[in-house]
Structure formats: structure tokens, C-alpha cells
Structure 1
Amino acid sequence: MSGTGIGDTPPSPPDRTSCLSDWVRAAAVRAVKTAAQAAVAAVPASAATIGTVDWPLVAGTAALAALMSLLTSIAGLPEVDSGASVRRIAGK
């Protein structure tokens, strides 16, 4: 049986087509996840009970986190074209 010996490298994931739409999809997913994480973190920091939560603060924190995620994703996403930057993907 091949692939079961010591030192064998695991199969690499299939290389995705480097397409700007793939980057947009992957970046959007990351931004939404980041926004949700920031919102969850901001809720207990802004109030002790759900009725006293500063919702504009939570929304602003989540929006800023999503924006920062998108800006960070411009440098490249590992899910798209082995981490190529947007400039490289768009130039193909």
C-alpha cells in the first residue's frame, strides 16, 4: 500500500483556480467570521446584562473588525491560489 510509510508526505489539497471571485468569496467569509467574533467579544465588555448592551458600539466594533479583515486579506488568502495577493490574482 502506498502512502502509508513513514516519511510519506500527505496529499496536498487541490489548488483552487485563481480567480478574483474566489478571493472575494473567501475574504467575505473571513470578514463575516471576524465581525462575529468581535461582536461576541464586545457584548460582555460593553454591559453586564443584555438590556444594557451598547449595540452601536458592538456594531461599530464588528464593522471595524470586518474592514480590517478585508484589508488584511488583500495581502493574500491561503484558500485562494496558495496565498497569492489580490494584485497577483487580478493580474492573471
Structure 2
Amino acid sequence: MTDPETMPRHATPCPPRSQSGLANWAKAAAVRAVKTAAQAALAAVPASAATIGTVDWPLVAGTAALSAMMSLLTSIAGLPEVDSGASVRQMAGK
């Protein structure tokens, strides 16, 4: 960060840019989708798998991907972390 004391008098520091509501939503939705995918992947690995070679990895990956997609679709209705739970449609109308 630039020290205002060392800047020329004609230059002013730029204020930090704030992210828009949709950018905040995208970030929060992506974090939620990744967490959901990880939880689904762990749940898809059977407890009876004796070794790593006996796990059906395509099934685990497919379950995780589907869970992430469902999480993103659900997040369109709104996330409590962003704009007090406003939906994407409400945020876009601002």
C-alpha cells in the first residue's frame, strides 16, 4: 500500500473498491458449493471400503459434482451471508 505522506500532493490514494452484491453472492455461493461437494464426497465413500482401491471414485466425483451444482442452484434463491438473504433477482434489481 502506498503511504500518503510520500505521495505527491496532486495524487490522492484510491479508496478500496467494494465488491458488488452479485460479486459477494458469487463468492459466497462458490464457497458453499465447495463445502457441499466435499461433504457429499466424504459421504459417498463407503465405510466398508477396506482400501483406497476399492472406492468407486467416479461415483464419488459424480456425487460431489452434482451436489455442488445443486448447491449453486439453491443459492440463487438467496444466501443468508449476502444482503440479508436476498435472491439473485433482488440483487440484480438494485
TM-score interval, smaller chain: 0.7 to 0.9
Mapping of residues 55-70 of structure 1, within 5 Å: 55-70=57-72
User: Quick one: distance in 2 between partners of 1:72 and 1:45?
Assistant: 29
Of 23, 37, 40, the residue aligned with 2:39 is 37
Which structure has the larger Rg over C-alpha atoms?
2
Measure how far apart 1:46 and its partner are. Answer: 7.9
Q: CA RMSD in A?
A: 1.7
2:78 partner SS: coil
TM-score between the two structures when normalised by the length of structure 2: 0.75
1:30 partner SS: helix
List per-residue Cα deviations over 1:39-64 (Å, max 9, x = no partner). 00101268342111111000000000
User: Quick one: distance in 2 between partners of 1:38 and 1:68?
Assistant: 11
| Structure 1 runs not aligned, ≥5 long | 1-16
Residue matched to 2:49 = 47
Moved over 3 A (4+): 45-48
Identity %: 86
| Structure 2 runs not aligned, ≥5 long | 1-18
**1:26 matched to 2:28:** yes
User: Quick one: distance in 2 between partners of 1:84 and 1:18?
Assistant: 13
TM-score between the two structures when normalised by the length of structure 1: 0.76
- In structure 2, relative to structure 1, the CA distance for the partners of 1:54 and 1:81 (3 Å cut) is same
Measure how far apart 1:21 and its partner are. Answer: 0.3
* Matched positions, count: 76
The one of the two structures with greater contact order (alpha-carbon pairs below 8 A, sep at least 6) is: 1
- In structure 2, relative to structure 1, the CA distance for the partners of 1:67 and 1:46 (3 Å cut) is farther
Residue matched to 1:14 = none
